[in-house]
Amino acid sequence: MSRGNVPIAKPNTGVQAELARGVALGPGLMLAGLALVAFAAFLLSLAVGSVRIPLDEIVGVLLGGEASKTAWTTIVLKFRLPKALTAMLAGAALSVSGLQMQTLFRNPLAGPFVLGISSGASLGVALTVLLAGVAVGLGGSTTLLAGISLAGDTSLALSAIFGSGLVLLLVMAVARRVQSGMTLLILGLMFGYTTSALVSVLIYFSVVERIQAYISWTFGSFGGVTWRQLQVMAPAILLGLAGGHLLMKPLNALLLGETYALSLGLNVRRVRLGIIGSSAVLAGVVTAFCGPIGFLGIAVPHLCRSLLHSSDHRLLMPAVSFMGATLALGADIVAGLPGSQLTLPLNAVTALLGAPVVIWVILRQRNLRQAFAG
């Protein structure tokens, strides 16, 4: 169609364009601010814990120097640095995954685990931990199982990877077939119920020590991830994050709903597979290494929308990554109860601190629709 002979004159957009640039500058600054805060939280998390280490010493260690006390170097490099990196990666991963699910399903209550990823991981871990317990409880062959370190991080991680991977494949297979996102959402929900039923059956027949091991896995922790595990976890999550950022434009189109997205030339099926795939990898990997970390994935997208007053994924994607990293670090710092030898369950902290914040943010909005929007 020819645009040349259009009688409705196209107005000079100089002013408008300038305005748009001015508006774009605000969020740009906001993003830079969020990144800065995330970095500050990172440094803080290295400094505080059961032992307080001065910031300049931390910077020195990070730059390859030695701290004035050798113990400090060990603490920072061996424990706090992998933990902080894990927290940042996990926070960003869960938040991006949550944002993707909320947009894909157009549902403010969606989060990284709506597709049953964490349920799958839980089932994997429960099978490993508790079935061994059942075997012991029934007086079965204990010698064979004694070789497996049940509470060992690696075996737990492996079984969680196996469990969430299985769910991931199942979800992808279903997503390929079903037409509507809503169907998928309900299937994920039902899958969650089924697995938790299986887990409770396992718990019922298990012995106390095994249940204890299982439950402490469900508390979630960033501390159990070693440098060696990070070598697997970090690339997987960075890949997932990159995938999420590549899908910004399709996610914006999906804000209009799948039919409109289709009419805009989007290959909805392929995009949906991409979103579910990257989201499941993110949520699955985090759950496998850190346990089922709740709350962050649902809350961070809401916080970012209301902070940036935007539902544009070109802004939200990086914003939720930074804010997710920051909040995960913050929750980990609080859970570590700085200055004490005690730690709180991470999941308890994320929800206890996060829920009031989200409630406050949502109540500040005029209604939930706008809260979802920001």
Q: Which residues bind other proteins (CB under 8 A)?
A: 1-3, 5-11, 13, 16-17, 19-20, 106, 246, 248-249, 252-253, 255-257, 259-260, 262-267, 305, 309-312, 314, 369-370, 372-374
Question: Residues with Cβ < 8 Å from 151, sequence gap 6 or more?
Answer: 129, 213
Tokens of 167: 């769910």
Closest CB to other proteins among residues 256, 351: 256
Residue 122, CA distances (Å) to 62, 117, 214, 235 in order = 35, 9, 9, 23
Closest CB to other proteins among residues 12, 340: 12
Calculate ∠ Cα 169-175-176, nearest 5°.
95
**Residue 347, amino acid:** N
Closest CB to other proteins among residues 125, 253: 253
Compute the least distance from the CB of residue 300 to other proteins, in Å.
16
Compute the least distance from the CB of residue 113 to other proteins, in Å.
22
Closest CB to other proteins among residues 23, 40: 23
Closest CB to other proteins among residues 194, 263: 263
DSSP 70-131: HHHHHIIIIIIHHHHHHHHHHHHHHHHHHHHHHHHTT-TT--TTTTSHHHHHHHHHHIIIII
How far is Cα 86 from Cα 229, in angstroms, rounded to an integer?
Answer: 10
Compute the least distance from the CB of residue 95 to other proteins, in Å.
17
How far is Cα 96 from Cα 94, in angstroms, rounded to an integer?
Answer: 6
Contact at 8 Å (CB) between 333 and 44?
A: yes
Compute the least distance from the CB of residue 9 to other proteins, in Å.
8
Closest CB to other proteins among residues 7, 139: 7
**Residue 264, amino acid:** L
Compute the least distance from the CB of residue 27 to other proteins, in Å.
12
Compute the least distance from the CB of residue 294 to other proteins, in Å.
24
